[in-house]
Amino acid sequence: MPLFGTDGVRGLANGTLTADLALSLAQATAVVLGQGRTADARRAAGKRLTAVVARDPRVSGEFLVAAVSAGLASSGVDVLDAGVLPTPALAYLIGDHDADFGVMVSASHNPAPDNGIKIFARGGVKLPDVVEARIEAAMSGEKLQPTGAGVGRIARFSDAEDRYVLHLLQSLPHRLEGLHVVLDCAHGAASGVSPQTFSDAGARVTVIGADPDGLNINDGVGSTHLDQLAAAVIAHGANLGIAHDGDADRCLAVDAAGQVIDGDQIMAILAVSLKERGELVDDTLVATVMSNLGLHRAMAAQGIHVEQTAVGDRYVLERMNEGGFALGGEQSGHVIMSRFATTGDGLLTGLHLMSEMARTGRTLAELASVMTVYPQVLVNVKGVDRSMVATDETVQDAVARASAALGLSGRVLLRPSGTEPLVRVMVEAADADTANAHAEAIADVVRERLSLPA
């Protein structure tokens, strides 16, 4: 099984993800990302390569950052340790500091025992699959082993947070005075920087989930647990709530009545705003195949084209870069605004969402009404041969029958898992009962036709 998953290397900290693995991965990264004309020019000028590292507050991040930093410095790379910061902050700082690459230690929305390592190339961009494969191969090859003055130095990136906050504030088209927001920081990487930034932008801020102890990250709070945020918004009479995940590259919201506003709805609001201001390149939004049918309908009504990609913010970003598009993202709250960020940024997204409220004087519920959310049912069918989904005629006939029955009022999507014997059946329809009936019927056919031997 490949070491890299859909978002870096992830696993149980000190179980599958050990200090030895982190050190070896860092050394291999130095070998692979230390190649090329820019790196050669730095060395010719007598300069060492530079990497920025950061982490979320989970306890295992301390020893894993130490191992990553040791692996980089032992390979002749100078390390700037930015401490606890969101993933998008690290991505921004790589470009802002003109560093050669960066490493984020975080398992995002996973529970505290897990951790992960995400690697960003020059400019703060995620690595393509081919480069990740080269790094994995280099882990078993020769390492860089300079001695004496050739080894790297490790220093604190003292103004990292200030640079990031200033960048976010400078991106805003409208300040946030008059708005009261409840921020749920998931006891994660945004716990310090997010309340500060929203307050500096002019909002009145109430904070929950911002007391990280290294073990409580994502524990009943954050973007995967919105009940507490909804209750807090209602209790405090706030205009809205914003939830981050553990490394703050996601943003989900709730309106003043506690209703969830997901990533699709946020993208719809931002896309309309950007189009009105003439900033939505080619009037195009990039979204994944899992985005709600309601998003497509709403954007069509606004004269906005939706480009579809595979699931994963990296694929959204690839398409955005290919077309030079300004906005893209996922239903889960990964929203990419390419003018200001190279990856999903939960703080940036939340700030611009509130900026649109302040600019228009409309409530979040009013802005979100641009899109009708179609009921979406997802059934995971386990223990099946995922490779046969596209070729089994009986399965495809079942999909075709459901699609014909739904017509323009719904859609069907089958997604084989890339890592396990599982097929995801997703159905959208005008009502939940219809969606559920079609999803279960297709799932039954998938089980009957594709189940693996016990």
Condensed to tens digits (0 to 9), the pLDDT of residues 199-228 reads 999 999 999 999 999 999 999 999 999 999
Residue 241, pLDDT score: 98
- The answer to whether 175 and 202 are in contact (CB under 8 A) is yes
108 is catalytic: yes
List, for residues 406-441, the tens digit of each pLDDT value: 988 889 988 888 667 889 999 999 889 999 999 999
What domains can be seen in the chain, in order of their start residue? 9-158 (3.40.120.10), 163-368 (3.40.120.10), 376-450 (3.30.310.50)
List, for residues 375-411, the tens digit of each pLDDT value: 989 999 999 888 888 899 999 999 999 999 998 888 9
For the chain, the distance separating the N- and C-terminal CA atoms, rounded to the nearest angstrom, is 22
Reported as type and span, the H/E element at residue 125 is: strand 125-126
Please give the Cα distance from 64 to 61 (Å, whole number). 5
- Amino acid identity of residue 34, one-letter, is G
Residue of 108, 223, 273, 355 marked catalytic? 108
Q: Quick one: tokens of 103?
A: 């490493």
For residue 451, the tally of other CB atoms under 10 A from its CB is 14
Residue 58: which pLDDT band, with cuts at 50, 70 and 90?
very high
Angle among Cα 241, 242, 243 to the nearest 5 degrees reads: 125
Please give the Cα distance from 213 to 191 (Å, whole number). 11
- Amino acid identity of residue 387, one-letter, is S
- Amino acid identity of residue 235, one-letter, is A
Please give the Cα distance from 159 to 104 (Å, whole number). 17
DSSP 427: E
Residue 419, pLDDT score: 66
Contacts of 409 (CB under 8 A, 6+ apart): 429, 430
- The answer to whether 411 and 403 are in contact (CB under 8 A) is yes
Q: Quick one: tokens of 156?
A: 């604190």
- Mean pLDDT value across residues 56-75: 98
Out of 71-85, 86-100, 230-244, 418-432, pick the least confident.
418-432
Please give the Cα distance from 196 to 388 (Å, whole number). 51
List, for residues 102-125, the tens digit of each pLDDT value: 999 999 999 999 999 999 999 999
What are the binding residues for Mg(2+)? Answer: 108, 245, 247, 249
Out of 183-187, 291-295, 400-404, 406-410, pick the least confident.
406-410
Contacts of 142 (CB under 8 A, 6+ apart): 31
Closest CA to 261 of 243, 285, 284: 243
Please give the Cα distance from 438 to 399 (Å, whole number). 9
- Amino acid identity of residue 202, one-letter, is G
Sign, CA dihedral 94-82-252-368, equals negative
Distances (CA, A) of 362 to 11, 179, 197: 43, 11, 22
For residue 241, the tally of other CB atoms under 10 A from its CB is 31
Out of 117-121, 274-278, 290-294, 345-349, pick the least confident.
290-294
Please give the Cα distance from 446 to 390 (Å, whole number). 11
List, for residues 325-356, the tens digit of each pLDDT value: 999 999 999 999 999 999 999 999 999 999 99
Higher pLDDT, 40 or 177: 177
Residue 138, pLDDT score: 96
DSSP string, 278-309: T-SGGGEEEEETTS-HHHHHHHHHTT-EEEEE
Burial class (CB in 10 A: 0-12, 13-18, 19+), 85: buried
Residue 397, pLDDT score: 92
* Strand order through the sheet with 335-337: 305-309, 284-288, 327-329, 335-337
- Amino acid identity of residue 328, one-letter, is G
Question: Is 82 a residue whose pLDDT tops 90?
Answer: yes
- Amino acid identity of residue 42, one-letter, is R
Using DSSP's 3-state secondary structure scheme, residue 21 falls into helix
Residue 258, pLDDT score: 97
Residue 269, pLDDT score: 98
Question: Is 60 a residue whose pLDDT tops 80?
Answer: yes
- The answer to whether 58 and 46 are in contact (CB under 8 A) is no
Work out the percent of the chain whose per-residue pLDDT is above 70.
99
List, for residues 27-50, the tens digit of each pLDDT value: 999 999 998 777 777 776 778 999
Instruction: Characterize the bridge pairing of strands 411-416 and 335-337.
Output: unpaired
Q: Quick one: tokens of 400?
A: 């075709």
Cα 329 to its chain centre, rounded Å, is 8
List, for residues 6-31, the tens digit of each pLDDT value: 789 999 999 999 999 999 999 999 99
Residue 399, pLDDT score: 92
Reported as type and span, the H/E element at residue 120 is: strand 114-121
- Residue in this structure with the two tokens 């690697």, named with its chain if needed: 119
Out of 82-86, 113-117, 179-183, 423-427, pick the least confident.
423-427
Please give the Cα distance from 138 to 131 (Å, whole number). 10
